[in-house]
Amino acid sequence: MRFRFLLESLLLCLSIASSQRVPAQLPDLRGKTLFITGSMHVTGRVTIFLQTFEIDQDVPLTEANPARIVFDNSGPEDNTTLTGVMPLPAVETPPYVTCPNPSIPVNGSFHRGTGLLVLRGSLSGASTFHFGVQETDLGTFRVQVRINNLAFQHTGRGVILPDGTLRFQHSGRTPLTFTGTPRLGLKSPAAPDPCVFGGTQASINNASFALQDWTAYLPGIRGAVRFADCPGVTGLPLTLQFHPVDGGDRFVRQVIPEPDGSFFVPNLPAARFLVRASGPGTLARVIPVSTASGHAMGVDLGDLLSGDANGDNSVDVLDLAELIASFDSTPSSPGWNDGRADFNRDDSIDVLDLDVLIRNFDRAGEELP
């Protein structure tokens, strides 16, 4: 009897623990691109023509100028082996041209259950990194640093922020270690090719090279929408169908916009899309959106017009028939029919909904190709 009681208690505890277990919310990173904001930072002491000055140069990694990690499709979904590259951006500061930085091959792993991300990367041989410009007593120059055998390693844990974004946050510096002595190249605007390492060169003593206070995240879409025929109504779902322009499977996301119409769709692939937007009983709109370079900001979906009761993306006599069949009903009425003809979403099908249908009659929504 005592054994049975203990066994039942154990089963009860396991049942409670199982019911409280939070399902994994972390997305699959296979084939995805993480964007990195923060800064690339180089420090050191340089002597040129018997003149010594300190290098303390940042390249801001903003949402408009992020670094990125592009992963391949590899490994199982929940404990993925990752391979890819990490292109590091350079700052464009007129009158200089943007010079490309090398891409660091990376590999590692990502565990969806714990959020643990392990990354390693290295470049053998000499590579030239461009860091914008530096003001010195000798004038204004593009800073170029040549580094031998660069290595990068990071271990961090991902979290889901309140807006749904997956982020890996790192306070302080993640060193990019190297062998040998880094060389500094100061290229003037008059140089024949400002992207070729050369010009005034010097060694950098006590040098460090790092990613500083950085955050890695999957891109998303931040925008706004207006349900034109439902003024003051909140909590309406917005359905977004994503069509990758450059190939790939379509997928659907649904969000509830804020009362002011703003919305954010997190954790998307880095790609160009045609996005079909619709709400309950509305005609669809299709707009181009790109997350290929990071977050797509300021996406305006405009007005979504209502009147489509049967979901065929047009307002016509078929929708009028639906409205007539449900006329003068409320959610407790037998003829409510899920409120498909409640175009203004006031929980009543009446002359106000007829007015919406008349105003938008004979309109058709947009469709994906």
Structural contact between residues 71 and 82, judged by C-beta atoms closer than 8 angstroms: yes
Q: State residue 52's pLDDT score.
A: 84
State residue 118's pLDDT score: 93
| Domain spanning 221-359: CATH 3.30.465.10 | no
Nearest one of 184, 182, 185, 179 to 207, comparing CA atoms: 182
Q: Is-contact 243 273, C-beta < 8 A? A: yes
Half-sphere exposure for 232 (CA within 13 Å, toward CB): 1
Question: End-to-end distance of the chain based on CA atoms, in angstroms?
Answer: 69
Centroid of chain to Cα 92: 23
Q: Report the DSSP beta bridge partners of residue 170.
A: 214
Three-state secondary-structure class, residue 89: coil
Q: Is the dihedral of CA 185, 190, 191, 193 positive or negative?
A: positive
Cis peptide before 95 (omega within 30 of 0): yes
Confidence (pLDDT) at 311: 96
In whole angstroms, what is the distance from residue 229 CA to residue 360 CA?
Answer: 10
**Reduced to 3 states, what is the DSSP secondary structure of residue 357?**
helix
Q: Using the 8-state DSSP alphabet, how is residue 99 labeled?
A: P
User: Considering only CA atoms, which of 145, 213, 155, 154 is closest in space to residue 181?
Assistant: 145
Q: Which stretches within the chain are classed as H helix? A: 2-20, 317-326, 351-359
Res 283: pLDDT:
98
Instruction: Spell out the domain ranges in the chain.
Output: 33-217, 221-359
Under 8 Å between Cβ of 300 and 251: no
The set of residues, in sequence order, having a beta carbon less than 8 Å from that of 369 and lying 6+ positions away, is: 243, 274
pLDDT at 356: 97
- Rounded-to-integer distance, Cα 284 and Cα 312, Å: 10
Task: Quote the Cα angle for 199-204-208, to 5°.
Answer: 125
What integer pLDDT is reported at residue 77 of this predicted model?
Answer: 76
Q: Which residues in the chain land under pLDDT 70?
A: 1-24, 136, 138
Closest CA to 131 of 148, 145, 118, 121: 145
Q: Residue 252 has what pLDDT?
A: 97
Tokens (6 digits) for 149: 């055998």
Q: How far apart are CA 90 and CA 67, in angstroms?
A: 9
